[in-house]
A and B are shown apart, each in its own frame.
Chain A
Amino acid sequence: MARSGAAASSPASVTGDGARSDATSLTREQKLELYYFMRLTRSLEERLVNLYRQTKVVGGLFRSLGQEADAVGSAYALDRSKGDMLSPLIRNLGSMLVQGAKPNEIIKQYMAKGDSPTRGRELNIHYGDLERGFIGQISHLGDMVPVMAGVTLSFKMRRQNRVGLVYVGDGATSTGAFHEGINFAAVQRCPLVVIVENNGYAYSTPLRKQTAAKQLVDKAIGYGIAGEQADGNDVIATYEVTKRAVDRARSGGGVTLIELITYRRKGHAEHDNQSYVPAGEIDRWAKENDPIDRYAARLNDEGVGAPELAAIDARVQSEIDEATDEAEASPMPDPTDALVGLYADPPAVAPLWFRQGIKSAVEVHERPASWGTHDV
């Protein structure tokens, strides 16, 4: 079984001064593109935080602060020109952006707008686009593993040269769907890469309460598939380990499980105060192992000057400003659109008897905070 990176059993053991990953074949331009996507992910989430505080976001807000490298680096290893596909999880905004998701779509989703990709039906980053090659997750953890097993099974059946990638968190590895899906894909030798993002926690639950395994990558042995582990806060290492798995899948080598070691610096969602995290842990990761800081330093060493990165930051900001303006100006959905599109045929269900000719049964649409999980 191939192994790379620190054989860490806890994320804390890969903190430090940011050891350099192996050399990479990425060009200078590609490297700057990685930086762009990481910065876009972070700044877009920061904008969403502002909108959330202005109560313009409906529902919860989920951050990937500190995990931008693992999302961006892994998705970047897919070949979009070949039609590779991925299915993201809640921390994979960066992966979706790499795959072609647009900031205005993300903001509209969070604001529950009528012209958001799901037309206001689904929340946050729960959406997909077959054209661009990503399939939207549902909340039920692990469910996307069997789905992506099927997507990649179709690649195999049609002799297509395509690869699929699916993300799960450390917590989601405990679900039945994860187990059944990865085992199915392994037996079928589907061209599938399974990325386990080990960010130390599932909501409040630390890894040691999730599994008795020493490390999550060990699960690959039981499924009879390749397993690799890498430093998820090193975007180049993340890219390289995923690229190897993608190449393996494309050449008929079947499924790879990759454990990326990272850390969730924000709460499960914006309302979570992280009372369960040991003192100092978050600060240590922020100071010593921020994926963007680390990567900027590396680029700097390689001769990319600060002004060049600052120019990318500025471009990101203006893109987000533009996306925000567009999203804010977008309309909320038309209530009766709720009845459209349940089946291919009929195209809409009929309104119930007490709603004949009635567009809205309430005068104001209440905006409760975060599903009532906490006092406001």
Chain B
Amino acid sequence: MSEITYLEAIREALFEEMERDANVFCLGEDIGAYGGAFKVTEGLMAKYGEERVIDTPISEAAIIGAAAGAAHMGMRPVCEMQFIDFISTGYDMLTNYVATARYRAMLPCPMVVRGPSGGYVRGGPFHSQNPEAAFLHTPGLKIVYPATASDAKGLLKSAIRDDDCVLYFEHKYLYRRIKEEMPSGDHLTPIGKARIAREGRDVSIITYASTVWKALEAAEQVEKEDGLSVEVVDLRTLLPMDDDAITATVKKTNRVLIVHEDTRTGGVAGEITARITENAFEWLDAPILRVTAADVPLPYSPPLEDYVLPQTSDIVLALRKLAAY
């Protein structure tokens, strides 16, 4: 079997799930004949037709709301946001209608909302967002954000089969930059389970999505230069959060750095920190540190964007500080 990119892995998951279950259908802007702004859905309409691959008007609230309605009736819709930044125009539907449907009205919403997310691509403030924190606070939604090609495939297949709404964020910087051979067979990555991306003894980095790769880079650097052994935990799922994996790594290394690309205040790192202090405070030998984006909208010009977003050198600096504490 040959290696495929993160983007191709997402596409493969869509093909396999549409083939497996006639209730699965895709809807979004320019996803059909054009194959999507990033070509994730290329070839899907040719194979499954206009009825199951729907080019919609520019109406995110309607895309998400209609998906919910169809999902109540037993369909399994997969919505594409052309850029995840536009999910904000469907925020009401997601947080008020979809997230409460099962709890309030016993109405199932087995649907997926996916889209290209994240920065490092000079996309400016509206083509670079990481919206996870805006939804982490909404009980009833699930959130996944894969960092590898095999997880991109396995998590999307699991998300489509999940009986609730899953927000599936895919990182556009990773789309064509990473490649991997897919596990054979019906490859499913469990939702709610983190992954140890690198084993280590001295310090743990808890992270997800694009910064998993920066964490690995930094881990390698401090191993070479400082002899430090760094563990990297890739959360993969943000909601529900894998407390067991977080606690296990804290108990192992007793020093924790949390890294994410999203802005700092009210971000996922704060939630992880709180959980660690609740579940494993006595295991800590140092304060928990965060490396995140600065609290500003993401600017477009390369020197500005690179200043705002977390970089490998920041992680190295933080690891050294933790190790020396």
A334-376 vs B, Cβ < 8 Å mask (1 yes, 0 no): 1111110010000001011111000111100111100111110
- B294–A349 touching, CB < 8 Å: yes
Q: Which of B71-111 contact A (CB under 8 A)?
A: 82-83, 85-86, 88-89
Contact B121 A352 (CB under 8 A): no
A175:B38 contact, CB within 8 angstroms: no
Q: Does B277 contact A (CB under 8 A)?
A: no
- Does A360 lie within 8 Å of B306, measured CB to CB? yes
Tell me, in angstroms, the Cα distance from A374 to B37 when the chains sit together.
Answer: 9
Given A174-B59, A371-B121, are A332 and B303 neighbors across the interface (CB < 8 Å)?
yes
Q: What residues of chain A lie closer than 8 Å to B303, measured between beta carbons?
A: 120, 332-335, 360, 365
B296 touching A174, Cβ below 8 Å:
no
Q: Does B39 contact A (CB under 8 A)?
A: yes
| B304–A333 CB distance below 8 A | yes
List chain A residues, Cβ under 8 A from B89. Answer: 140, 175-177
Q: Do the beta carbons of B123 and A59 come within 8 Å of each other?
A: yes
Residues in B287-325 with C-beta less than 8 Å from chain A:
289, 291-292, 294-297, 299-304, 306-308, 311, 313-314, 317-318
What residue in chain A is nearest B302 (Cβ atoms)?
Answer: A365
At the interface, yes or no: A122 with Cβ under 8 Å from chain B? Answer: yes
Given A58-B122, A352-B292: A360 in contact with B57 (beta carbons within 8 A)? no
In the complex the two chains form, is B306's CB within 8 Å of A335's CB?
A: yes
Contact of A372 among B38, B126, B264 (CB under 8 A): B38
The residue in chain A whose Cβ has the minimal distance to the Cβ of B38 is: A373
User: How many B residues have CB within 8 A of the partner chain?
Assistant: 54
CB pair B301–A375 under 8 Å, yes or no, is: no
Is A374 within 8 A of B301, CB to CB?
no
Separation of A154 and B295 alpha carbons in the complex (Å): 32
**Min distance, Cβ B253 to any Cβ of chain A, angstroms:** 19
Residues of B within 8 A of A366 (CB): 120, 302
For residue A50, CB closer than 8 A to chain B, the reply is no
Contact A351 B294 (CB under 8 A): yes
Residues of A within 8 A of B85 (CB): 139-140
B135 interface contact, C-beta 8 A? no
- Does A333 lie within 8 Å of B55, measured CB to CB? no
Out of A142, A275, A349, which one reaches B34, CB within 8 Å?
Answer: A275
* Interface assignment of A113: CB less than 8 Å from any CB of chain B: yes
Q: Is there an interface contact between A58 and B301, defined as CB atoms closer than 8 Å?
A: yes
CB of B61 closer than 8 Å to a CB of A: yes
Give which listed residue, B33, B55, B58, B61, contacts A172 with CB less than 8 A: B58
Give per-residue flags for A291-318: 1 if the beta carbon is below 8 A from chain B beta carbons, else 0: 0000000000000000000000000000
Q: How many residues of A contact B (CB 8 A)?
A: 59
Contact present for B33 and A140 (CB under 8 Å): no
A211 at interface, CB cutoff 8 A: yes
Choose one: B56, B116, B299, B313; the contact of A338 (CB below 8 Å): B299
Does B173 have its Cβ within 8 Å of any Cβ on chain A? yes
* Docked CA distance A353–B290 (Å): 9
* Cα–Cα, bound, A374→B39 (Å): 8
The distance from the CB of B218 to the nearest CB of chain A, in whole angstroms, is: 12
Q: Are B123 and A371 in contact (CB under 8 A)?
A: yes
- Chain B hits for A361, CB < 8 A: 306-307, 311, 313-314
> Are B294 and A338 interface neighbours, CB within 8 A?
yes
> B308 — nearest CB in chain A belongs to which residue?
A338
Residues of chain B contacted by A351 (CB below 8 angstroms): 294
Whether the pair B33, A352 counts as a contact (CB closer than 8 A) is: no
Of B57, B88, B295, B300, which contacts A121 at CB under 8 A?
Answer: B300
Q: Is the CB of A139 within 8 A of B127?
A: yes
Any A CB within 8 A of the CB of B201? no
B151 in contact (CB, < 8 A): no
A121 adjacent to B302 (CB under 8 Å): no
Chain A residues within 8 Å of B264, by CB: 352
* B212-244 at interface with A (beta carbon < 8 Å): none
Interface residue A251 (Cβ < 8 Å from any Cβ of B): no
Q: Which residues of A contact B302 (CB under 8 A)?
A: 58, 112, 332, 365-367
B169 at the interface (CB under 8 A from A): no
| Nearest Cβ on chain B to A129's Cβ, whole angstroms | 18
Which listed residue (A59, A114, A211, A336) contacts B57, Cβ 8 A? Answer: A211
| A30 contacts chain B at the CB level, 8 A cutoff | no
Q: Which of A335, A336, A360 has the most CB of B within 10 A?
A: A335
Is B125 in contact with chain A by the CB < 8 A criterion?
A: yes
Query: In the complex, which residues of chain B have a beta carbon less than 8 angstroms from the beta carbon of A172?
Result: 58
Q: A59-B122, A139-B127, A373-B37 are in contact. List 18 more A-B contacts (CB 8 A).
A: A59-B123, A121-B299, A126-B124, A139-B85, A139-B124, A205-B30, A210-B58, A276-B33, A332-B301, A334-B303, A335-B307, A349-B296, A352-B291, A360-B306, A361-B306, A365-B303, A367-B122, A372-B38
Closest 9 CB pairs of A and B: A120-B301, A365-B302, A204-B34, A174-B57, A139-B126, A112-B301, A335-B307, A361-B311, A121-B299
* Residue contacts A-B, CB under 8 angstroms, 9 given: A58-B122, A139-B126, A203-B34, A204-B33, A332-B301, A349-B295, A361-B307, A371-B121, A373-B38
- B residues near A, CB below 8 A? 29-30, 33-34, 37-39, 55-59, 61, 82-83, 85-86, 88-89, 116, 120-127, 172-173, 175-176, 264, 289, 291-292, 294-297, 299-304, 306-308, 311, 313-314, 317-318
Q: A residues touching B (Cβ–Cβ < 8 Å)?
A: 58-59, 112-114, 119-123, 126, 138-142, 171-172, 174-177, 202-205, 209-211, 275-276, 332-339, 342, 349, 351-355, 359-362, 365-368, 371-375
